[in-house]
Copies of this chain bind each other. A is one copy, B any other.
Amino acid sequence: MEAVLDVVGIGNAIVDVIAQADDAFLARQGLTKGAMQLIDAARAEALYAAMGPTLEMSGGSAGNTLAGIASLGGKGAYIGKVREDELGRVFAHDMRAIGVHFDTAPLAEGPPTARSLILVTPDAQRTMNTFLGACVELGPEDVAPDLVAAARVTYLEGYLFDPPRAKAAFQKAAELAHAAGRKVSLTLSDAFCVGRYRAEFRALIEGHVDILFANEAEITALYQTSHFDEALAAVRGHCEIAALTRSERGSVVVTKDETHAVPAVRIDQLVDTTGAGDLYAAGFLYGLTHGSELAAAGRLGSLAAAEVIGHYGARPETSLRELAALAGLL
C-alpha cells in the first residue's frame, strides 16, 4: 500500500504551562534544571500557585514534532489521550488546526488533560514538571492499525514508558509498523527517563527501532558512559540511523557505515529551549520521508530547532516551510 502519511506520532498529549523563573526558584522548589519530572495533581497545584504568570500552549514531545512536520508541509497523524475538558479541547484544536489528523477518543471522565508546568530560566533552559492526567489511560486500543500502516514512519516518544499502559501501545505500534513495511522511530526524551527504563530502551533499540533520536545526555545515559564518542560507537549499528543532537554543537547522524556532522543553525536570540529536540526530529523526519540525504535531513532538523528556541513555546511561530525555502533547504 502507498504511504499516504509521512509520520504518525504517538505521545503524551500535554498542554504546556510556561513561566519564567530564576535558579533560586528552582532550588527552592527542589527542581532538577533541564529535566522532566513527573508530579501528581496536588504537587501540580502547589507548584502552579508558586509560579509566575504563565502562557498556555499545546505541547507534548511527539505533538510538537508533528506540529513541526505540518509546518514544513508534511502529512501527519497523532495518537494521544486527552480528556473532554477545556485543555483537551485546546490540544485537539491545535492539532487539527495545523492539519494533523487526530481522533484518539478523549476520556469522558477521570483524570484531566495532562499539563506540564515549565519553568524557563534566563539561560533559556527549561525544567518540566508534568502531571500526566488523562495520558495514563492511553493503551493499545488507541493505536489505529490503519494509521500506522499508512505512515512512512511511526514515531514514538520515550516518555510513553511512564504512563502504565502506553508501553503496550508503543509495542503494538512498532509491530504494526514493521508488519506494514514501515520504519519505527524513537526519541529517548530525557536522560532521567532513560535511567528509569535503560534495559527496556536498549532492547527496543536493538530489536525494533530503525531511527533513533537522542541528545548527548540521553545517549550517554543509555550506554552509561561520560564520553559522547563512546556512546556514538555503541549505538552505531544498533539501529539503522541514529541522529544525536548536541545543542550549539549541532548534531551527528550515524549509520552502520556513515557519519555526518551537521552544524547548528546560528540564532539571534536564545529564549526557551523547550521543544528543540522535538523540532530537530520534525525536520529530520520530514527530510527523510521526502528523499533528503541524511546530512540534508539533519540540516532541516537544525533549522526547525533554531526557530523554536528563539521564542517561548515548543511549537513553531513561523512557517518552517518558508524558513527552509529561504535557507535553500527545500
* Interface residues, chain A, with chain B CB atoms under 8 Å away: 19-20, 48-49, 51-58, 67, 85-87, 90, 93-94, 97-98, 311-313, 315, 317
Contact = CB atoms under 8 A, between A and B. Distances in A.
Given A48-B93, A312-B317, A57 B55 contact: yes
A82 B261 CA distance: 53
A263 to B, nearest CB: 25
A96 to B, nearest CB: 8
B315 A53 contact: yes
Which of A19, A55, A90 has the most B CB atoms < 10 Å from its CB? A55
B93 A49 contact: yes
A53 B86 contact: no
A315 B312 CA distance: 13
How many monomers of this chain does the complex have? 2
Nearest to A313: B55
A315 B55 CA distance: 10
Contact of A58 (B48, B51, B53): B53
B56 A90 contact: yes
Contacts of A85: 86
Given A56-B55, A93-B49, A311 B313 contact: no
Nearest to A15: B56
Nearest to A67: B53
A93 B317 CA distance: 25
Given A56-B90, A86-B86, A86-B87, A51 B97 contact: yes
8 contacts: A20-B317, A53-B58, A53-B94, A54-B97, A55-B55, A56-B56, A56-B57, A311-B312
Contacts of A313: 55
A188 to B, nearest CB: 26
Contacts of A93: 48-49, 51, 53-54
Nearest to A19: B97
